[in-house]
Amino acid sequence: FALEEQDSRISREAGTRLLLLSPTRELCHQTMSVASKLAQMVPSVVVSSITGGEKKKSEKARLRKGVTVLGCTPGRLLDHLETTAAFNTAELSTVVLDEADRLLDLGFEKKLRRIYDMLCDKKASHDSAEAFKQSIRDGTADHDTSVAPDRPAKKGLEKE
């Protein structure tokens, strides 16, 4: 079982590692039920779903605690990507489109594109922040640390 080898690197704190997008709540719950049974073999893997139809507050609480494998519908995922700051996708490595043809038939293309863009932006932001932190640790940071960097004043303002 491949996850057993990675078990030491998998934790709730690392956030969501796998997203599974389903066209309907019912399909999502069915798939996550099977995933939960499989994940019982690896205690560090937490499986959950966010699909609407339940209080957003309880979904936010689960996301804040950390969910390793997350099943969701596109609308609800997009909602949480836009509004739930504690939703950690920095270590996301896999996105699965369950019944992709049906997702498109049901008109989710724009939402899927938006989700993709947001996930890429979050990943790029996280990667550049990690690279910056590492450069500081290594002493190789290439940035201006002066209190008042030398740059022209804004139009209408004068430097003293």
Q: Where are the domains of the chain?
A: 2-129
Q: Which of 102, 100, 97, 78 is nearest to 89 (CA)?
A: 78
**Surface-to-core class of residue 144, CB atoms within 10 Å of its CB (0-12 exposed, 13-18 middle, 19+ buried):** exposed
Residue 144: the pLDDT is 46
pLDDT beneath 50: ranges in the chain: 1, 3, 136, 141, 143-149, 152-160
What is the CB neighbour count within 10 angstroms for residue 8?
A: 8
What element of type H or E holds 118? Answer: helix 109-138
To which CATH superfamily is domain 2-129 assigned? P-loop containing nucleotide triphosphate hydrolases (3.40.50.300)
Alpha carbon distance 20, 31 (integer Å): 9
* Strand, coil or helix: 31: helix
Q: Tens digit of pLDDT for each residue in 88-133? A: 998 899 999 999 999 999 999 999 999 999 998 876 665 655 655 5
Structure tokens at 135: 């450069």
Please name every residue paired with 96 in a beta bridge, in sequence order, or none if there are none.
20
